[in-house]
Amino acid sequence: MGKQKKARKYATVKRMINLRDQRIKQTERAKSNVKKKDDPSAIKEREVPQHPSCLFFQYNSQLGPPYYILVDTNFINFSIKAKLDLVQSMMDCLYAKCIPCITDCVMAEIEKLGQKYRVALRIAKDPRFERLPCTHKGTYADDCLVQRVTQHKCYIVATVDRDLKRRIRKIPGVPIMYISNHRYNIERMPDDYGAPRF
């Protein structure tokens, strides 16, 4: 007699012990989800985010010359494409002293772009630019800039990226610098600061 063929069982799963089993230690056992009844007389505490003291509605009182401008990676690349000198064009736009700031994440992004963007890297290493160290993990510049601007509302964000602009518009009191018609323009800046928009 030949060997009987055994049908293979598909999707067989190793049997596991239930987490509420008596054989498992008391500490490792799954907690039974018994809901506690809320006491109606107890005082409810809510976590309300503190409103920044520098804002008077949408007006940011921390903004003022010299302006600190957080520069994004693509802003430098588009400035080179439009043949604009970063610091000079910023001063022409705002009629005041401007200090471009570059975070470690933006610098890492430019370095990752490789040999093709070596001019952008040379511009980013300009001694007039202020370097801001990053303490978080990863090198995603957009999250870094949004987080920094949310904490400290003393910056203007220079970017051409639509998604980043959309995210920054949700944060009150943060102006956005962008490039249009071969010149820098500013959005959401109080009227008594800087140049008029064209």
Local mean pLDDT, 10-residue blocks, the chain (198 residues): 68 74 76 70 73 80 90 95 94 92 94 93 94 87 93 93 94 93 88 62
d(CA 67, CA 156): 7
Q: What domains appear along the chain, each with residue ranges and CATH number?
A: 71-187 (3.40.50.1010)
How many residues are listed for the chain in this entry?
Answer: 198
Distance between CA atoms of residues 95 and 105, nearest Å: 29
pLDDT in tens, 49-71: 777 888 877 788 888 889 999 99
Omega of the bond prior to 40 within 30 degrees of 0, cis?
no
* Distance from C-alpha of 30 to C-alpha of 21, rounded to nearest angstrom: 9
Q: Is the pTM of this model over 0.85?
A: no
Phi-psi label, residue 29: left if phi above 0, alpha if psi -120 to 50, beta otherwise: beta
Provide the terminal-to-terminal Cα distance of the chain, rounded to the nearest Å: 94
How many angstroms separate the CA atoms of 191 and 132, rounded?
A: 28
The answer to whether 72 and 179 are in contact (CB under 8 A) is no
pLDDT of residue 106: 93
Q: Which residues lie closer than 8 Å to 94 by C-beta, 6 or more apart?
A: 65, 67, 186, 193, 194, 195
The pLDDT value recorded for residue 79 is 96
pLDDT the model gives residue 133: 94
Selection from 137, 134, 140 nearest residue 109 by Cα: 140
